[in-house]
Amino acid sequence: MNQTETPLLEVNDLRTVLHTPRGDLAAVDGVSFQLGRGETLGIVGESGSGKSVLGRTVMGLHTTGPMKTITGEVLFAGRDVQKLDPRSLRQLWGSEIGMVFQDPMTALNPVKRIGVHLTETLRKHRGLGRRPAKERAIELLSLVGIPDPRRRIDQFPHEMSGGMRQRVVIAMALANDPALLIADEPTTALDVTVQRQILDLLAKLQAELGMAIILISHNLGVVAGRADRVAVMYGGRISETASARTLFDSPQHPYTEALLEAIPRLQEPPHRRLAAINGAPPDLIHPPSGCRFAARCRHRQDDCDLTLPELTPAVHNEQHHYACFHPVNQGGR
């Protein structure tokens, strides 16, 4: 994002605490970032790192209540999402911020036809009549690459393949031309060929519509070549963030290095065992006092257990930040 440009989305010290029977769990703990118009930010990390909770909190789906507490700011086009009333949030969802959920089968109502899913949002946000809404829904199905959309619009979700259902969910998210699309694991449970098609589709639609995208994934390989910048999350916090090229060429945080090593590569010998990260993520109800990755880190030193490291800019690249006392690739900075 250009430094002089006003960000479309600005997240400042965001914290989402879930109140559980075992105690308070900070699923998102002090996260900050900015996103410009038309930019793609990849958010990656293991399951349980806080990625999906972050995406929902940014959208305002995790509203403050007895089971959760949210602090910090989420500024979308200058408005604090956390301070919007329920009516304003409903107007925001779909029309300005769209979301692609990771499981299209649960995101779609199984007893409603595909056309109903699409026309509902068009009639609510655009005030279209029944027939114009149906014609626009057919256009959207065609836009996302679904063949024979006039027939498909009358089908139920179970009559479509996983890839087709995912395209329907994308069409729903794009129905009102949102400025921001949050794609939460949009290729989960799809075979690699369909994954490529879905990611290519998102890139094509982004180029045509000029929207910003937050691409959430547990797989760094998915965001490779797709994101302008990448933020790596671990234990509810951002452990490293940089441009995609810098992150892949010169990772500084040991967790980022470990994630990259776990990506299978074609040039490796067949049947080679994939690299794994030993241990398990920390218990966020009782997080460690030091670095949250220290217990699994092969570069661990004594000071890693004493103090929680904060994001620090790299010496030769102020756009590259990492939270580590002992970065692994200092020569590449």
Cα–Cα distance measured from residue 116 to residue 251, given in angstroms and rounded to the nearest whole number:
46
Longest dimension (CA), the chain: 68
pLDDT at 180: 96
pLDDT of residue 332: 45
pLDDT digits (tens, 9 = 90+) for 61-118: 865 566 788 899 999 999 999 899 988 998 898 889 999 987 777 889 999 999 999 9
Query: Using one digit for the tens of pLDDT, what is the confidence trace for 175-226?
Result: 888 999 999 988 876 778 878 888 888 898 899 889 999 999 988 888 988 9
Compute the distance between CA of residue 55 and CA of residue 163 in angstroms, rounded to an integer: 22
Looking only at the bridges linking them, the beta strands covering 9-20 and 68-76 are antiparallel
Position 156 confidence tier, pLDDT thresholds 50, 70, 90? very high
The closest alpha carbon to 61, from 95, 99, 30, 34, belongs to 99
Q: What is the pTM of this model?
A: 0.90
pLDDT for the residue numbered 86: 87
| Residues 238-289 pLDDT 10s | 999 999 999 999 999 999 999 998 887 777 787 778 788 989 999 999 999 9
Question: Do 157 and 105 form a contact (C-beta atoms < 8 A)?
Answer: yes
Residues in the chain: 333
pLDDT band at 162 (very low <50, low <70, confident <90, very high): confident
Distances (CA, A) of 203 to 87, 118, 121, 197: 31, 21, 23, 10
Confidence of residue 6 (pLDDT cuts 50, 70, 90): confident
pLDDT value at residue 245: 94
Given this model, what pLDDT does residue 67 score?
76
Q: How far apart are CA 306 and CA 169, in angstroms?
A: 45
The DSSP string of 22-81 is TEEEEEEEEEEEEE-TT-EEEEE--TTSSHHHHHHHHHT-S--BTTEEEEEEEEETTEEG
Show the domains of the chain with their CATH numbers. 9-96+178-332 (3.40.50.300)
Is the pLDDT at 173 greater than 70, yes or no? yes
333 versus 244: the higher-pLDDT residue is 244
Q: What is the pLDDT of residue 80?
A: 93
